[in-house]
């Protein structure tokens, strides 16, 4: 028995698991050989089914139409949804929308909630989060050139961003911009909510990810802001609080991502085992009879189980004591689970041989798009440095001396 499985999770998990297997996974082939936009009518039909089953937006409070799950409970759900690239979208808890919902839920004004949050929670619109800039290293986000200058009741927004995920078709952006250039580094930036129809905003392109440009929700955009006028009423939280708000978004977000990675790894291991049994080197000699493949299966099983425990332990700590108390664990799971995912996917592709690098299975899709797991939300090296610094400090050595 999983010690993190509550009675509520035991009740809903079988429903979610069967829905993913029976309704969502069968759509993957059309997605892998087509476009996300072409699949949207069928995905929206599934979204209606999820609402009917009472499983919509599981991360939100019951008062907002969600299931009121704790972060730990949602992490377990996120693993199940992660078994398909389409899972989180169908349940309306996909990044970057889930992070924006959490930000708006905690920090938005009532007017902002009515205009932006409520339709987002209902799944009527999508959003995106615009922070990373091509001119600066994302590993040091205080370096930012995008500015928002206050003029009366408006901010004038100018800048250049990329990897603004899901901007294609989004109704609004949450934009990080420098509003207080003379302030301390982590108090220079603010977050602004900007409608995508704002004059001066341009979606330059959807960036190709290892050759896959993507479209609609499944895309990463380069965008520009040229004298975009954003109402001062669209400031999210306080001026200069951009980085503090980003940390509120990133803590739970890393749990979401890591549990999704575990769902992907579980599916990859399942595909690996099934193929190893069914594919024969010679009559009576399946791939599964080879010791090297047995080792890969065993290693994958151990790594996935270790990763799951680490993430749920961290989520449970956040639920009980807050993200600040678990900051070292948050850094640890980010690099550990991202590397585990890469290892398992690589083994699964190797077992599948030439088939593994085609889009006839979902493995190549994940290999393309999840390699970035070791880069976004802070590259591995940053998280490892943070962890090592804190460990060494406990022994009386300060790396920064």
Mean pLDDT in consecutive groups of 10 residues from the start of the chain, 401 residues:
87 97 98 98 98 96 94 97 98 96 96 98 98 88 93 98 98 97 94 98 98 97 98 97 88 90 98 98 96 98 97 96 91 96 98 98 98 91 92 90 63
Instruction: Pull the structure tokens for residue 377.
Output: 């939300």
Q: Please state, in angstroms and rounded to a whole number, the distance separating the CA atoms of residues 105 and 319.
A: 17
Provide the pLDDT for residue 200. Answer: 98
The number of CA neighbours under 13 Å toward the Cβ of 114 is 4
Q: Please state, in angstroms and rounded to a whole number, the distance separating the CA atoms of residues 311 and 262.
A: 9
Provide the pLDDT for residue 377. Answer: 82
Domain ranges of the chain: 7-122, 127-236, 243-394
Q: Please state, in angstroms and rounded to a whole number, the distance separating the CA atoms of residues 127 and 196.
A: 9
Instruction: Pull the structure tokens for residue 282.
Output: 């010679």
Provide the pLDDT for residue 400. Answer: 77
Quote helix, strand, coil % in the chain, to nearest 5: 55, 15, 30
Provide the pLDDT for residue 140. Answer: 81
Judge contact between 219 and 35, C-beta under 8 A.
no
| Residue 173 backbone dihedrals phi, psi, to 5 degrees | -120, 145
Using CA atoms, how far residue 389 sits from 159, 190, 306, 314, 393, in Å, is 34, 28, 23, 19, 6
Length of the chain: 401
Provide the pLDDT for residue 1. Answer: 46
Same fold, 7-122 and 127-236: no
Please report the beta strands in 76-171, taking only residues with DSSP state E, as ranges in sequence order.
Answer: 127-130, 147-151, 154-165
| 7-122 under CATH 3.40.50.300, yes or no | no
What is the bridge-based pairing of β-strands 280-282 and 285-286?
Answer: antiparallel
Q: Which residues contact 141 (CB under 8 A, 6 or more apart)?
A: 131, 132, 176, 243, 246
CATH entry, 243-394, from 2.40.37.10, 3.40.50.2300, 3.30.930.10, 1.20.140.10: 1.20.140.10
Judge contact between 185 and 142, C-beta under 8 A.
yes
Provide the pLDDT for residue 381. Answer: 93
Q: Is 143 helix (H, G, I), strand (E, B) or coil?
A: coil
Judge contact between 344 and 263, C-beta under 8 A.
no
| 127-236 under CATH 2.40.110.10, yes or no | yes
Provide the pLDDT for residue 248. Answer: 82
């Amino acid at each position: 028995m999983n010690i993190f499985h509550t009675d509520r999770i035991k009740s809903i998990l079988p429903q979610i698991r069967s829905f993913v297997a029976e309704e969502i996974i069968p759509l993957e082939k059309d997605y892998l050989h087509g476009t996300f936009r072409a699949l949207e009518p069928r995905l929206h039909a599934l979204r209606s089914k999820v609402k009917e089953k009472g499983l919509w937006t599981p991360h939100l409070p019951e008062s907002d139409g969600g299931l009121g799950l704790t972060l730990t409970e949602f992490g377990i759900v996120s693993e199940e949804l992660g078994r398909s690239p389409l899972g989180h979208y169908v349940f309306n808890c996909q990044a970057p929308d889930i992070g924006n919902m959490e930000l708006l839920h905690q920090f938005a004004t009532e007017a902002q909630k009515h205009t932006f949050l409520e339709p987002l929670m209902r799944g009527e619109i999508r959003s995106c989060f615009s922070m990373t800039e091509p001119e600066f290293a994302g590993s040091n986000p205080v370096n930012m050139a995008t500015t928002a200058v206050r003029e009366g009741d408006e901010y004038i927004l100018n800048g250049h961003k990329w990897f603004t995920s899901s901007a294609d078709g989004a109704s609004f952006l949450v934009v990080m911009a420098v509003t207080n250039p003379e302030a301390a580094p982590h108090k220079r930036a603010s977050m602004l909510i900007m409608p995508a129809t704002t004059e001066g905003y341009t979606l330059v392109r959807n960036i190709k990810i290892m050759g896959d440009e993507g479209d609609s929700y499944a895309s990463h955009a380069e965008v520009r802001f040229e004298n975009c006028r954003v109402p001062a009423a669209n400031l999210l939280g306080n001026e200069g609080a951009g980085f503090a708000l980003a940390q509120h978004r990133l803590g739970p977000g890393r749990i979401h991502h890591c549990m999704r990675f575990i769902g992907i790894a579980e599916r990859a291991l399942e595909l690996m085992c099934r193929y190893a049994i069914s594919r024969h080197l010679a009559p009576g000699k399946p791939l599964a009879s080879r010791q090297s493949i047995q080792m890969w299966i065993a290693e994958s099983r151990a790594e996935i189980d270790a990763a799951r425990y680490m993430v749920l332990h961290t989520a449970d700590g956040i639920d009980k004591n807050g993200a600040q108390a678990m900051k070292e664990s948050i850094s640890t799971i980010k690099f550990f689970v991202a590397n585990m995912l890469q290892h398992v996917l690589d083994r699964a592709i190797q077992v599948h041989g030439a088939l593994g690098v085609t889009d006839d299975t979902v493995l190549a899709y994940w290999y393309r798009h999840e390699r970035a797991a070791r880069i976004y939300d802070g590259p591995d090296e940053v998280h490892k440095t943070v962890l090592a610094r804190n460990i060494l400090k406990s022994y009386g050595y300060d790396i920064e001396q």
